[in-house]
């Protein structure tokens, strides 16, 4: 290693003190060495041309290397020394095969980096454990769609300017570092750890008091009860995990005025869906399907009805009447529950007007769907099979996995009627 540092140091001294070269900018020796190490540790997959411009024998890395952006030292703007400030490894194009290899520890020498992106490929190994202690200027760290293993480094929690951390679609394991939600990460707004499979433990308690805007933990092994949601939240997905308990704590705090997307599907959450869920003013997409919810649901009356894009409550144990307030949903999935009674007129009108493009309510105990004189729009998908009524419109728009296009056996309907759907 000493043989590599020696000529780089001489170059640094030569460029710094030679009057004829003082007006020329040049890359800091430690950054140049780090780029050398990166080129040794990473290779393009067959068909990749990403590194074709990385010629250390001819060319300035700051102007000729693909994915490298340099800036002057903001603490010494008159300096001729440039530092690597943005590094994007790979092209991100759909026809690009990406990179392979490992991330070297020497990437920590690129101390002026504010953006580090690794595009989809087959890079293996762990995320360098010291990344967060040396790259103190990072604002965006994205290492998605590769084969990275090991834990999420605790050191990432100490980055004062980090806004977005995306480590999704890898093979990471272990708990979520609790310190990611503490004041040591004051600017972290977007945290995406989805599709790793092996992340375990509970969602850290600090999440409730954080300033996070976007949290995606989809398809992992996170368990426990969902903690109180922070008031700043706009997007939350904890789908395909092992979450349990109820939602009472999650929605026990102050209002969440900007929450737009909520996906808690494919867990084991139980109890009644809180009234508060259907009164959030910005919430347009609700996915609570494939859980253990029970009881009835209530949609609060509002002077200005919320227009939901999609509500999916399918595959639960929800009972009682379908609330008429759900009529403003663009797509409504209530299939595989224990709903009883007639489909509300407002919902039927919404379907016939085309405002509600999808209404799936198969596998319930509904007794009536009031038909209209006008024909059903061709764009509407309607499925009411396996209920306690004669099927309207022959159930022709049921999905392939919607079950038999027939009514539910009478004895089952009599039994559920005697219990009121509970």
For 272-317, how does the pLDDT look when each residue is reduced to its tens digit (9 = 90+)?
999 999 999 999 999 999 999 999 999 988 767 789 999 999 999 9
Query: What does the pLDDT average to over 214-221?
Result: 98
* For residue 416, pLDDT beyond 80: no
* For residue 79, pLDDT beyond 80: no
* For residue 225, pLDDT beyond 80: yes
Query: What does the pLDDT average to over 349-378?
Result: 93
What stretch of H or E contains 226? none
Between 131 and 185, name the one with better pLDDT.
Answer: 131
Q: How far apart are CA 216 and CA 168, in angstroms?
A: 9
Q: How many CB atoms lie within 10 A of CB 211?
A: 15
Give phi and psi for 252, each to the nearest 5.
-90, -10
- pLDDT recorded at residue 393: 66
Which candidate, 313, 296, 306, places its Cα nearest to that of 327? 306
Q: How far apart are CA 283 and CA 260, in angstroms?
A: 4
Q: How far apart are CA 229 and CA 276, in angstroms?
A: 12
Q: How many CB atoms lie within 10 A of CB 55?
A: 11
Q: How far apart are CA 49 and CA 68, in angstroms?
A: 15
When pLDDT is cut at 50, 70 and 90, the band that residue 94 belongs to is confident
pTM across the whole model: 0.91
Least confident of 123-132, 368-377, 409-418: 409-418
**Which DSSP category does 126 fall into?**
B
Between 322 and 77, name the one with better pLDDT.
Answer: 322
When pLDDT is cut at 50, 70 and 90, the band that residue 421 belongs to is low
Residue with token string 């663009």: 330
pLDDT digits (tens, 9 = 90+) for 2-24: 333 334 443 344 344 444 444 56
- pLDDT recorded at residue 15: 41
Least confident of 65-74, 118-127, 306-315: 65-74
Q: How many CB atoms lie within 10 A of CB 11?
A: 14
Query: What does the pLDDT average to over 221-225?
Result: 98
Q: How many CB atoms lie within 10 A of CB 159?
A: 24
When pLDDT is cut at 50, 70 and 90, the band that residue 348 belongs to is very high
Which candidate, 104, 136, 99, 106, places its Cα nearest to that of 31? 106
- Per the CB < 8 A criterion, the answer to whether 97 and 105 are in contact is no
When pLDDT is cut at 50, 70 and 90, the band that residue 260 belongs to is very high
Q: How far apart are CA 233 and CA 359, in angstroms?
A: 29
- Per the CB < 8 A criterion, the answer to whether 296 and 319 are in contact is yes
Q: How far apart are CA 366 and CA 321, in angstroms?
A: 9
Length of the chain: 422
- pLDDT recorded at residue 391: 80
Q: How far apart are CA 13 and CA 22, in angstroms?
A: 11
- pLDDT recorded at residue 3: 37
pLDDT digits (tens, 9 = 90+) for 166-210: 999 999 999 999 999 987 788 999 999 999 999 999 999 999 999
What is the token pair recorded at 69? 């952006």
Q: How far apart are CA 358 and CA 269, in angstroms?
A: 25
Query: What is the DSSP code string of 277-317?
Result: GGG-TT--EEE--SSEEEE-------SS----SEEE--SSE
Q: How many CB atoms lie within 10 A of CB 302?
A: 12
Query: What does the pLDDT average to over 323-349?
Result: 96
* For residue 383, pLDDT beyond 90: yes
């Amino acid at each position: 290693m000493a043989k590599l540092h020696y000529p780089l140091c001489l170059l640094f001294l030569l460029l710094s003190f030679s009057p004829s070269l003082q007006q020329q900018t040049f890359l800091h020796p430690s950054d140049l060495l780090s780029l050398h190490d990166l080129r040794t540790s990473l290779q393009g997959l067959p068909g990749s041309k990403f590194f074709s411009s990385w010629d250390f024998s001819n060319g300035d890395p700051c102007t000729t290397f693909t994915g490298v952006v340099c800036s002057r030292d903001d603490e010494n703007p008159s300096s001729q020394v440039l530092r690597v400030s943005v590094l994007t490894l790979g092209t991100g194009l759909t026809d690009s095969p990406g990179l392979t290899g490992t991330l070297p520890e020497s990437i920590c020498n690129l101390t002026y980096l504010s953006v580090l992106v690794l595009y989809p490929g087959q890079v293996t190994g762990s995320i360098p454990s010291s990344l967060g202690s040396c790259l103190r200027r990072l604002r965006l760290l994205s290492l998605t769609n590769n084969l990275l293993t090991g834990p999420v480094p605790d050191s990432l929690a100490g980055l004062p300017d980090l806004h977005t951390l995306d480590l999704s679609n890898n093979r990471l394991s272990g708990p979520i570092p609790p310190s990611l939600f503490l004041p040591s990460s004051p600017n972290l707004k977007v945290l995406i750890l989805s599709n790793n499979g092996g992340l375990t433990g509970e969602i850290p308690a600090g999440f409730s008091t954080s300033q996070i805007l976007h949290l995606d933990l989809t398809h992992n092994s996170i368990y426990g009860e969902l903690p109180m949601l922070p008031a700043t939240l706009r997007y939350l997905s904890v789908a395909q995990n092992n979450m349990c308990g109820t939602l009472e704590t999650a929605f026990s705090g102050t209002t969440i005025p900007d929450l737009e997307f909520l996906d808690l599907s494919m867990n084991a959450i139980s109890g009644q869906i809180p009234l508060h869920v259907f009164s959030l003013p910005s919430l347009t997409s609700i996915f609570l399907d494939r859980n253990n919810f029970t009881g009835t649901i209530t949609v609060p009356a509002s002077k200005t009805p919320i227009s939901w894009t999609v509500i999916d409550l399918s595959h639960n144990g929800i009972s009682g009447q379908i609330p008429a307030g759900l009529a403003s949903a663009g797509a409504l999935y209530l299939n595989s529950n224990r709903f009883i009674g007639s489909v509300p007129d407002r919902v039927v009108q919404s379907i016939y007007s085309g405002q509600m493009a999808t209404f799936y309510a198969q596998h319930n105990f509904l007794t009536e769907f009031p038909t209209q004189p006008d024909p059903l729009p061709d764009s509407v998908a309607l499925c009411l099979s396996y209920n306690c009524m004669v099927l309207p419109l022959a159930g022709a728009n049921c999905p392939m996995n919607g079950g038999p296009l027939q009514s539910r056996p009478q004895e089952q309907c009599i039994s559920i009627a005697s219990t009121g759907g509970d």
